[in-house]
């Protein structure tokens, strides 16, 4: 899927639920391969293009949560937040400072331990 400077809205079915301490949205970005020791931000593609994606998660009441931070697991880049457990999350929104292709998007709940 193409992510551009406008928001891409994804409505997961079923809605997302919080099960552990930290939630991540991972992007599998076409042309990205993390090199050990390279800075995490900006995300640098193999052709030298630098990306700064923004990720938001919206709950069932329309509350917006901006995901921050960046983690790398293999070729996946992850953005995280601590979200309230007492609601479901009905939309994920993604945009970039420039267009890029994302071939998969993952939701993960992780424990701090």
Q: Are 78 and 71 in contact (CB under 8 A)?
A: yes
15-19, 37-41, 45-49, 94-98: range with lowest mean pLDDT: 37-41
CATH code: domain of residue 98: 2.60.120
Instruction: Name the percent of the chain lying above pLDDT 70.
Output: 99
Task: Answer yes or no: is pLDDT of 113 > 70.
Answer: no
- The mean per-residue pLDDT over the stretch 52-81 comes to 92
- pLDDT for 82 equals 85
**Residue 112 pLDDT grade (very low, low, confident, very high; cuts 50, 70, 90):** confident
Number of domain units in the chain? 1
Show the domain range for 74: 2-110
Closest CA relative to residue 43, chosen from 21, 16, 72, 19 = 72
Q: How far apart are CA 11 and CA 70, in angstroms?
A: 22
- Exposure of 47 in the CB half-sphere (CA atoms within 13 A): 6
């Amino acid at each position: 899927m193409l992510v551009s400077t406008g928001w891409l809205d994804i409505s997961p079915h079923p809605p997302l639920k919080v099960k552990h301490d930290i939630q991540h949205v991972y992007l599998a970005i076409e042309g990205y391969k993390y090199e050990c020791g390279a800075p995490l931000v900006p995300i640098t593609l193999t052709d030298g293009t630098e990306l700064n994606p923004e990720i938001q998660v919206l709950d069932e009441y329309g509350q917006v949560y901006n995901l921050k931070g960046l983690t790398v697991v293999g070729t996946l880049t992850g953005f995280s937040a601590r979200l309230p457990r007492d609601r479901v999350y009905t939309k994920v929104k993604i945009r970039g400072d420039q267009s890029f292709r994302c071939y998969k998007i993952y939701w993960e709940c992780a424990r701090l331990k």
